[in-house]
Amino acid sequence: MKSKASAPGKVILFGEHFVVYGVKAILCAINKRITVTAEKIPMDKILIRTNIGKLELPINKPIVDIDSPLKPFYYLANTIIKKYKQKTGIEVFVESEIPSGVGLGSSSACCVAGAAAISRLFEETSKEEILDLAIKAERTIFPNTSGADCTVCTFGGLMEYDKENGFSQIKSNPNFHLVIANSNIKHSTDTVVSNVKKFKDKNEEKFFDMCKKESELINNVLTLLKENKLKELGKNMDHNQEFLENIGVSNKELRKMINIAKKTSFGAKITGAGGGGCIIALTDESNLEKTLSQIRWKNYDCFSVKIDFKGLDTF
């Protein structure tokens, strides 16, 4: 018997980095998915096949001894084999529509879809339990993850998150399209986050003033999202980007991409850690194609997405 599950990737619309210091962030699941197929196999092995490589290991290997980006899948399969006291192994096959390592939530979507597909080989599990397992799996590669990405990949839609109050879904259905352009510069979230900390330590007053302004911006954005005011949301994206420039997470290439995207879209900014990765531009039907062609004309990889309201899906 095979079990299949899929989960969406994500973007951060507003508030990356400042969220680390208690400011609210707004995240959104996107309609690009990871699909995981799991199957029991008559061997005491865990086999993982993906578009970024393969991993084949005996069961019960200590997680700390595994040096592979596919470690979360091994963690999930091994944990579930132990939970259900299985004597056999598991094979996992991963198909992805999301580029990896560029801030679009591919690792979170893998953990969520992986947790669901493997669990369902044994029993139906609630989304809350899947999320809990997925966050533990993601922590095998990103120990400090807040869990926000896995949460939005599980439940889908738009979400606000802050460290103190956790997550809550934003009940709204704005009709925007996001254009995502990929700098193809891989970034390490950990490194960029620690550089921001150095900046904060040197510029305490300036940094906390920006946190205050970012908080005001986010509160304003929450109202604009409910009213579907795209032009004003775009202006707030540009404004948010100024804060990201000030804390040093942008660079020449990202700025160049943002300036191209801003010519036709309502607004554009980095999404995620910065230093590389992707930018997003806000559009609707009226300026979507123009924005895509402007960016493609300058030879950047880009595509458009909409909000995914489904989140985790099993079949």
DSSP string, 239-269: HHHHHHHHTT---HHHHHHHHHHHTTSSEEE
Task: Give the active site residues.
Answer: 149
Q: Does 234 bind ligand MEV (CB under 6 A)?
A: no
Which region among 9-17, 54-62, 205-213, 225-233 touches ligand MEV (by CB under 6 A)? Answer: 9-17
Q: Does 125 bind ligand MEV (CB under 6 A)?
A: no
Question: Which amino acid makes up residue 107?
Answer: S
Burial of 308 (0-12, 13-18, 19+ CB in 10 A): buried
Q: Does 8 bind ligand MEV (CB under 6 A)?
A: no
Report the alpha-carbon distance of residue 95 to residue 22 in Å, rounded: 35
Q: How many residues at the interface with ligand MEV, by CB under 6 A?
A: 11
Smallest separation, CB 101 to ligand MEV (Å) = 12
Residue of 118, 273, 280, 305 that binds ligand MEV (CB under 6 A): 273
Residue of 6, 8, 14, 17 that binds ligand MEV (CB under 6 A): 17
* Closer to ligand MEV by Cβ: residue 151 or 294: 151
Q: Does 185 bind ligand MEV (CB under 6 A)?
A: no
* Nearest alpha carbon to residue 281 among 299, 263, 296: 263
Residue of 100, 140, 146, 304 that binds ligand MEV (CB under 6 A): 146
The CA-atom distances, in angstroms, between 133 and each of 79, 111, 119, 128, 166 are 9, 8, 10, 9, 17
Residue of 5, 11, 12, 178 that binds ligand MEV (CB under 6 A): 12
Of residues 40 through 69, those in contact with ligand MEV by CB under 6 A are none
Report the alpha-carbon distance of residue 196 to residue 194 in Å, rounded: 5
Of residues 62 through 101, those in contact with ligand MEV by CB under 6 A are none
DSSP string, 166-225: EEEE-------EEEEEE------HHHHHHHHHHHHHH-HHHHHHHHHHHHHHHHHHHHHH
* Nearest alpha carbon to residue 243 among 22, 18, 24, 19: 18
Of residues 190 through 209, those in contact with ligand MEV by CB under 6 A are 193
Q: Does 184 bind ligand MEV (CB under 6 A)?
A: no
Residue of 8, 11, 16, 294 that binds ligand MEV (CB under 6 A): 16
Residues of the shown chain interacting with ligand MEV in the complex, contacts defined by CB under 6 A = 12, 16-17, 19-20, 103, 146, 189, 193, 272-273
